[in-house]
Amino acid sequence: MISASSLAAICILASVLAIRVLHRRSSQSSNLPPLVAIPDEQLFGNPRHAYETALKQYGKIIGVPRKNRLEYIVDQSFVAEVLTNDKVYSFEHGTLSMLNLHVLLALPRSFMHEIDRVVQDHIVSDLDDSVDRIAPVFDKLAKKLAAPVSSECQPIAVEIDSEVHRMMAEAMLTLILGRHYASAAHIASTERIAVAIATLTGIFENMSWWSRTFPTVGRTWNWLKVMFIAIPYHFVLGIGWQAFSELSAITDVARSDIRKEPVIMSFARKFIDKKTHRISLIDRIWILSVILGLIFASVHQTAVVIMWVVCELAKRPEYIQEFRTDTFTETSEDGAQRLTYASLQNAERLDSFIREVMRTKGDTLSTVRQTVSDTALAGYVIPKGSFVIPLATLANEDENHYGENAKVFVGDRWVGTGKPATMVSPNYFPFGLGRWACPGRGLAVAEIKLFILSLIAHANLSLENGEYRVVDPLNVTSVAPKGRIFLHPLFS
């Protein structure tokens, strides 16, 4: 009888051989980049070294098979070309296909364009209001985490990861759907939806032997499980049905107070039919689909980045006092002292720290594009429909750009440079680059600052043994690190 490990090895070998055959056949009519087969233990265990070594050995572009896909990896010299030339390298096709959501490309409307439109028109357009509405959620969690510490006078280990995901779920429900959605049941459902969609999009594939070995079977199973079980149960029957009912009741384009209206309502009014004064059934379903995608992206991704910043700050607690002295609060309309978007913008040292975390946390294959036609690049021809991915570590730590200490974490590196954490470039693209750079990065960085400043207002941080563990070296962008965080009480 063939063992499971032997069967897996046979399947992997067959996949590599099949890709090599296709690659060789294609190369008869075009000049393709060299194909490099990287063993799984290197690919998933130390991807940075594996990819950088292969690029150094074979040239600026290489083809690498990974989980039944052939991906073309390019070095830092092609970042601007690949990520900004939308006519040749498609963001929508690359991102949706890589996230196992290619079915959305067949829709008559652009899903990615719609999400971009919602963020730009209804969130980023008034960040003062957006931050003001969610700030109490962040302050509430900070006080909750610090509460057991202040009474016991001893450092205490806290499970910040799960609390941060719960906090982000409540904040996004409040901002996008309204404060009345932020019930315990809805918050729990949103957390489960975020995890389910993350599973669907393959974010956790690298950590599963089954998904790495049988990727097609794994993707199919996850798709069926999420689309027919998780989303209907955790979204449609609860949050979705309530929002659907509220959308059905909208009959007027006008609104009484735009600053108090949830994102979904101001967005939905654009779909009101001028004749019937109603939103059609199809449009209501479309609105809910877009909102579902927006909630996932804002909850999961931001929570992951917050955890990276928390772990790095707990590892480097000497920066905490600087952040406190660099911050001030403002008086809100109700007379309370709280952080506002304006005060967050003035937290320059924390902003520099966040940018440095984003630059050095080890992103590898973080931003993907897909060719829309056979494309010439550096003397090679990349076939239509191919994934093209810049190796982010080479760009983020390029000594030609950052100098001899490019690989060194310098928390105040960006103070006084006029380069905030939200400013992207070919040598810094954790939020993407070009037309499709993350439209919500301003809110995301503000949320990171909100949590960090709220937390250090009540306690100092430390990290057990001064180290954290990188769970998935190939996907640090979407998988948070693990470390035991301690809070230390502050006494006035």
Digit-coded pLDDT (tens) for 118-162? 999 999 988 999 999 999 999 999 988 887 655 556 788 888 999
- What per-residue confidence (pLDDT) applies to 490? 81
Domain membership flag for residue 4: no
Q: How confident is the model at residue 450, as a pLDDT?
A: 95
How far apart, in whole angstroms, are the C-alpha atoms of residue 131 and residue 259?
12
Asked if residue 293 belongs to a domain, the reply is: yes
CATH number at residue 243: 1.10.630.10
Strands 89-90 and 369-371: antiparallel
Residue ranges of the annotated binding site are 438
The structure tokens 């952080």 sit at 339
**Which range has the top average pLDDT, 174-188, 194-208, 259-273?**
174-188
Number of domains in the chain: 1
154 within some domain? yes
Number of neighbouring beta carbons within 10 Å of residue 102: 14
Question: Does residue 189 belong to any structural domain of this protein?
Answer: yes
Determine whether 74 is exposed, middle or buried from the number of CB atoms within 10 Å of its CB (0-12, 13-18, 19+).
Answer: buried
> Contact, 177 vs 287, CB < 8 A?
no
Residue that has been written with the tokens 């929002």 in this structure = 243
Q: Is the pLDDT of residue 347 over 80?
A: yes
**Sequence-ordered strand ranges (E) for 316-420:** 330-331, 337-338, 369-371, 375-377, 380-382, 387-390
Does the pLDDT at position 259 exceed 80?
no
In a domain, 27, yes or no: no
- Positive or negative, the CA dihedral 180, 182, 185, 186 is positive
Produce one character per residue of 270-295: b if its CB has 16 or more CB atoms within 10 Å, e if not. ebbeeeeebbeeebbebbbbbbbbbb
CB 193 within 8 A of CB 185: no
* Residues annotated in a binding site for heme: 438
Average pLDDT value for residue range 12-36:
59
Please state, in angstroms and as integers, the Cα–Cα distance from residue 160 to each residue in 191, 312, 323, 339, 490, following that order.
15, 14, 20, 21, 18
Confidence band of 333 (pLDDT split at 50, 70, 90):
low
Q: What is the extent of the structural domain holding 317?
A: 108-362+398-480
- Output the pTM of the full model: 0.90
